[in-house]
Structure 1
């Protein structure tokens, strides 16, 4: 996923990271609007999980060390009321990744009490990652964390997203997409991290295919954009973003719905119902099905106005199932 980019080299290395959002974190680089920056990031476990790890590592996993952000970068000319425009130019993947069920974390945390870790071998020559025989997940890398410093004083966790961005876990922010973040402090103080190979809308088990990414981003100041009060983004056309072969292989999708007067419970029901479909029709264990819905399934609100009940769907693209 490389392209020719002519620019002066501005690099943020793996040692230049932080574990809290704060406007008191000192910038590691100062750039001009329109400069291109290369970020060398480490995966969301912050190195706690390696390609040789087993389920045992989940017992000692320290979530306070998770999702390190690399930076921050001070952008000259950025002032409160402006927007920072982040163009995603290039994302280079590692040759391995991981997905885990961490007890106490995830949409169905109360139903999955045992730790499970899956290590993925990512063949650079293949456009997909192999979940298991007969199930291929298309590679669509993106940074789960992209944010600027909050205007509020204090330190804020890396886990929940903020109006200034952060742990957005938005799978649409891949190469060719553009993210706009509201600037709340002078210089913006942009950071990024948490590389993913693939993820569904919702990331329901709490993790995607987590990996280390090398990211090339263009950072530009857009003046006087006070109406951008939270992250906004633009994606390329589907024709530009999806390989023609994948479009031709599109087999549609299968979805299970959840109906409830509580939107969160409707989402839980939809996820649970699709897991049962996978167990009954695809021969997966419940843990495997839960992880598969996290890396490839999409949660959608299909109805929100016919109160008191909401309708949520969890769908899977059927072209991930290959062979017979």
Structure 2
């Protein structure tokens, strides 16, 4: 018999901790629905402005909803997570936080704060949101935080990713995708959160299109998958089609070359921002935000030492009208 459980936005935590009592105990194969706060703990609303960044409480970031105890899950097993439905709220936000906060690949080069509010309702059926007139960003909902409790005792931040998942921020794990996570504690203790309406690979300014989200997932315990020692996933056909739709006009990319992989990534991002400013007449802050929600970092060279090659590429399909085409 199929079982369905609902988890409210009040059932959340801010640290991974295998001693947390579960908010629900479910059999393997159960479907769960979640009402999720956004990655900023709903501190921004559709009417927020740049000034609201100054009162943002970073200690509330990346709430995870749960944990869920899955019956029959034992250390050494794998939890299979199927993403059935991901429904963003009517609005979202992207922020450049002041440089001292440390978010963003170029945080030291962007000392001023900026908040972008996105309308996620008007063009929901069309599958995009408007960055500004002439620039559309395809909507591709996914969860930034999907994870299980760690084996180690104590409290662990929800901000970084771990071998057991967490804040993996992988835009490819969307509706129809399947994620596999290694179980380290009895019951697995599954939690999720941090809904995103869109993001580029790298989330380079530190935030995606952050949004509250209604979520439906199915949790199943898998035995005998010893090769899964970190998050593994299978993408959906629909996700592949969405990528083609967003990039059907090709890409513009800048390459960063450096002996340090992070510095090569910074150079690539800086190059793409410079192109957006020079050719598309966007501001540096607008360019940084657009790169975070729509551009992808890719390792294109990792064997010809001592240098790495990293590309930062933007689908030209985001430019849909004057003055950008």
Distance 2:95 2:243 in 1: 32
User: 1:249-264 to 2 correspondence within 5 Å?
Assistant: 250-264=248-262
Change (3 A) 1:319 1:307: same
Pairing partner for 2:287 from 269, 272, 289: 289
Root mean square deviation of aligned Cα: 1.6
Aligned residue for 2:154? Answer: 154
CA distance in 1: counterparts of 2:258 and 2:244, whole angstroms: 39
Equivalent residues of 2:272, 2:312 under 8 A apart: yes
Instruction: Give ranges in structure 2 of 5+ residues lacking alignment.
Output: none
2:92 counterpart of 1:83: no
Distance 1:196 1:87 in 2: 17
Moved more, 260-269 or 60-69: 60-69
In 2, Cα distance between equivalents of 1:60 and 1:67? 17
The answer for the alignment partner of 1:173 in structure 2 is 173
Residues 140 and 242, structure 2, Cα contact 8 Å, conserved in 1: no
Query: Is the Cα–Cα contact under 8 Å of residues 42 and 212 in structure 2 kept in the other structure?
Result: no
Contact 1:176 1:241 in 2 (8 A): no
Structure 1 residue matching 2:32: 3-state secondary structure: strand
Which shows bigger deviation, 293-302 or 216-225?
216-225
The SS at the match of 1:188 is: coil
User: TM-score with structure 1 length normalisation?
Assistant: 0.95
The reply on whether 1:276 has 2:258 as its aligned counterpart is no
| Unpaired runs of at least 5, structure 1 | 1-5
Structure 1 residue 251: Cα displacement: 0.4
Query: Kindly tell me: are residues 157 and 244 of structure 1, through their superposed partners in 2, closer, same or farther at Cα, counting changes over 3 Å?
Result: closer
Of 62, 65, 77, which residue of structure 1 is paired with 2:57? Answer: 62
Distance in 2 separating the partners of 1:264 and 1:116: 24
Residues paired across the two proteins, number: 317
Distance 1:46 1:126 in 2: 28
Matched, 1:105 2:100: no
Query: Counterpart of 2:245?
Result: 246
| Residue equivalent to 1:3 | none
